[in-house]
Amino acid sequence: MFPTYLLDSTVEFAALFLWAEAHNKPVEHRYIRARRHAFKRPDRWTPWDDEQIPAKQFYQLFRMTL
């Protein structure tokens, strides 16, 4: 226990001030570097080379106004 003569408002204020200073530090975000690996692009679907889509349906699906 603290002696009663030390528990005045000045000491309490100083203790609260020091406690607040110790706990108000900015949060340090830590960056963890991920492993580096090569990215392989997947094969792309090219609708103009797809034999399963008839030409008429291809035109209906992918037409653009000129």
In a domain, 2, yes or no: no
Whether residue 61 contacts residue 53, with contact meaning beta carbons closer than 8 Å, is answered with yes
Query: Considering the entire predicted model, what is its pTM?
Result: 0.29
| 24 inside domain | yes
Is pLDDT above 70 for 5? no
Let me know if residue 4 belongs to a domain. no
Q: Is residue 3 part of a domain?
A: no
Please say if the pLDDT value at position 2 is more than 60: no
Assigned token pair, 12: 């309490």
How many domains in the chain? 1
Per-residue pLDDT tens over the stretch 10-56: 777 788 778 878 877 777 777 888 888 888 887 887 877 777 878 88
